[in-house]
């Protein structure tokens, strides 16, 4: 059985390593951050991800090892997944220097046939560059293939996304490498894993077993960028429609249900709000834009996607000002700091950007997030007061702001909220409630793409 090395222990790397161990492989997860390796060995779980603690407990020191030595991992494994970071540069391009240095080190330690598989989101041509760097680095006759196997996992559901994927994309330019990847994923594609008694529970609406799509490496690289850009476009599209809804008095939730029920369009990723964030969409749309530019194609549509996304936050800021008139000295209760629910990740979070702006305008912010408090404290320090829970956050506030779609924020005791607030104002950037429900509880409610409840008088003042 193939022994697998996964280079990088971030979201993608750690989840992939744990899931490959779950599929029965012997896995070594490598990171050059030795403190992180030590923490992982001690049993710490550095990210908030459903089922990950269970998988790590199940496989740590059995089928899953953590190591700081890429050289040793290369020598002992024939299958090497690269899942290191590809952060954005100032011009939007992905910074591939980590990928390059991993490729160089693999080449320096190669001792037989290796399949090097890029799992990080990378621009088209990266597989060519990895191949080139490897060939330039070593004078030993290298026997290797480079494959692109993009990962489509979402934070919060990463483990189930890995084990129950919609599809598995393998971009391999040789038959040998394609067959090897077919073999590696066979526990999923043959359904063997789904028959096991202690499998991770199956999510709703999955078509099993997943389909494997084998393409060229370049096509696979493009599939990843194009998929993320398309999803981001869907979100910006519905946000733009939400803005029209506000102008004409329509309801975006009804419009989105109507539009999304067309099976050619599909209802997912049509939730209007304060825009997309996270470590992928903002970075990948900008990187795809840069890739297009580089190959001489002006992909202006992506500029518009980014512009609408940014405007969405500004529009929400305007709504806060309209509802509260002046912000200086106002006490605002913020629910949610993560870029979406079920994660502790605050990278590119619209909530964080909004809080920064509220602070810049002199507001006093009290905040609560079920998982992202630790990371948010690192950003805000004592500029924000962090509380233990929703109702404590709301106590004495001039308005309540819902900025992340955490499940627990969608079932608040509205009577209690009403009692806690100084002004009965709720501004919801995630449309978690209906205006009618809020009205019934005597709350002035402003959301996205829908009429504000009982706030008409205030809206006129702006
Ligand atoms: C995304 C892709 O979904 C995944 O396939 C890829 O591998 C990595 O990037 P992720 O960033 O974890 O995953 O989050 P996702 O659930 O896709 O949400 C991204 C952002 O879009 C969040 O800020 C979310 O709140 C926002 N969003 C999502 C909306 O505003 N509306 C929607 O309808 C869906």
Averaged pLDDT, 256-281:
97
Which phi and psi angles does 402 have, rounded to 5°?
A: -100, 115
Identical fold at 4-215 and 308-461?
Answer: yes
Nearest Cα to 444, choosing from 320, 348, 283? 320
Residue 77 annotated as catalytic: no
Check pocket membership of 237 for ligand 1, CB cut-off 6 A.
Answer: no
Q: How confident is the model at residue 234 (pLDDT cuts 50, 70, 90)?
A: very high
Q: How confident is the model at residue 124 (pLDDT cuts 50, 70, 90)?
A: confident
Domain ranges in the chain?
Answer: 4-215, 308-461
Report whether CATH 3.40.50.1980 matches the domain 308-461.
no
Residue 462: the pLDDT is 39
Question: Is 396 a residue whose pLDDT tops 80?
Answer: yes
Q: How confident is the model at residue 457 (pLDDT cuts 50, 70, 90)?
A: very low
Question: Is 69 a residue whose pLDDT tops 90?
Answer: yes
Check pocket membership of 18 for ligand 1, CB cut-off 6 A.
Answer: no
CA distances 304 to 33, 233, 235, 277, Å, are 38, 9, 12, 16
Check pocket membership of 252 for ligand 1, CB cut-off 6 A.
Answer: no
**pTM, two decimal places:** 0.94
Pairing of the two strands 79-82 and 114-118: parallel
Residue 452: the pLDDT is 85
Work out which ligand 1 atom sits closest to the CA atom of 281: 9
Q: In this structure, which residue's CA is closest to atom 28 in ligand 1?
A: 269
Question: Is 277 a residue whose pLDDT tops 50?
Answer: yes
Averaged pLDDT, 131-135:
93
Work out which ligand 1 atom sits closest to the CA atom of 269: 33
Pairing of the two strands 425-428 and 3-7: unpaired
Distance 260 CA to ligand 1 centre (A): 17
**Rama region for 209: left / alpha / beta (φ>0; ψ in -120 to 50; rest):** beta
User: Hunting for tokens 């028959």 — which residue is that?
Assistant: 195
Nearest Cα to 460, choosing from 242, 452, 442? 452
Report angle CA 274, 451, 441 to the nearest 5 degrees. Answer: 95
User: Hunting for tokens 């106002």 — which residue is that?
Assistant: 330
Residue among 120, 154, 429 whose CB has most ligand 1 atoms within 8 A, to mutate: 154
Residue 205: the pLDDT is 87
Question: Is 460 a residue whose pLDDT tops 80?
Answer: no
Work out which ligand 1 atom sits closest to the CA atom of 343: 12
4-215 folds as Rossmann fold (3.40.50)
Check pocket membership of 269 for ligand 1, CB cut-off 6 A.
Answer: yes
Residue 141: the pLDDT is 77
Distance 354 CA to ligand 1 centre (A): 18
Tens digit of pLDDT for each residue in 331-341?
Answer: 999 999 999 99
Report angle CA 130, 2, 86 to the nearest 5 degrees. Answer: 30
Least confident of 23-32, 134-143, 157-166, 270-279: 134-143
Residue 248: both structure tokens together: 């004409």
Residue 295: the pLDDT is 93
For all residues of the chain together, what is the average pLDDT? 95
């Amino acid at each position: 059985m193939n022994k697998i090395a996964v280079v990088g222990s971030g979201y993608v790397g750690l989840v992939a390593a744990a899931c490959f161990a779950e599929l029965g492989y012997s896995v070594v997860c490598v990171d050059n951050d030795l403190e992180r390796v030590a923490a992982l060995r001690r049993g710490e779980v550095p990210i908030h991800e459903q089922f990950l603690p269970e998988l790590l407990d199940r496989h740590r020191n059995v089928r899953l090892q953590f190591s700081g030595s890429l050289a040793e991992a290369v020598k002992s494994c024939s299958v090497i997944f690269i899942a290191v970071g590809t952060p954005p540069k100032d011009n939007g391009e992905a910074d591939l220097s980590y990928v390059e240095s991993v490729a160089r080190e693999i080449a320096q330690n190669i001792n037989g046939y290796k399949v090097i598989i890029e799992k990080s989101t990378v621009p088209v041509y990266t597989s060519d560059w990895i191949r080139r760097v490897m060939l330039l680095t070593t004078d030993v006759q290298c026997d290797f293939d480079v494959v692109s196997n993009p990962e489509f996992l979402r934070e919060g559901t990463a483990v189930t996304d890995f084990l129950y994927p919609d599809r598995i994309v393998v971009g391999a330019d040789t038959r040998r490498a394609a067959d090897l990847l077919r073999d590696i994923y066979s526990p999923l594609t043959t359904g063997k894993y789904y028959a096991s008694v202690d499998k991770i529970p199956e999510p709703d609406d999955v078509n099993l077993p997943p389909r494997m799509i084998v393409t060229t490496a370049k096509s696979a690289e493009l599939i990843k960028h194009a998929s993320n850009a398309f999803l981001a476009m869907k979100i910006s599209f519905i946000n733009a429609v939400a803005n029209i809804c506000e102008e004409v008095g329509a309801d975006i939730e009804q419009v989105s249900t109507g539009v999304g029920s067309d099976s050619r369009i599909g209802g997912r990723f049509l939730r209007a709000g304060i825009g997309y964030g996270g470590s992928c969409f903002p970075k990948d749309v900008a990187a795809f834009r840069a890739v297009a530019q580089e190959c001489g194609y002006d992909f202006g549509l992506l500029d518009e996607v980014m512009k609408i996304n940014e405007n969405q936050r500004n529009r929400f800021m305007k709504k806060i000002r309209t509802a509260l008139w002046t912000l200086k000295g106002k006490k605002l209760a913020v629910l949610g700091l993560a870029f979406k629910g079920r994660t502790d990740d605050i990278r590119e979070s619209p909530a964080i950007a909004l809080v920064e702006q509220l602070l810049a305008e002199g507001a006093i912010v009290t905040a609560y997030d079920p998982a992202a408090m630790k990371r948010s404290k690192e950003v805000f320090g004592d500029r924000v007061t962090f509380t233990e829970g929703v109702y404590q956050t709301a106590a004495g506030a001039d308005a309540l702001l819902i900025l992340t779609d955490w499940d627990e924020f969608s079932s608040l005791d509205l009577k209690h909220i009403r009692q806690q607030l100084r002004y009965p104002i709720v501004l919801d950037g995630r449309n978690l409630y209906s205006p009618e429900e809020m009205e019934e509880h005597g709350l002035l409610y402003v959301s996205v793409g829908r009429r504000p409840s009982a706030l008409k008088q205030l809206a006129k003042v702006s």
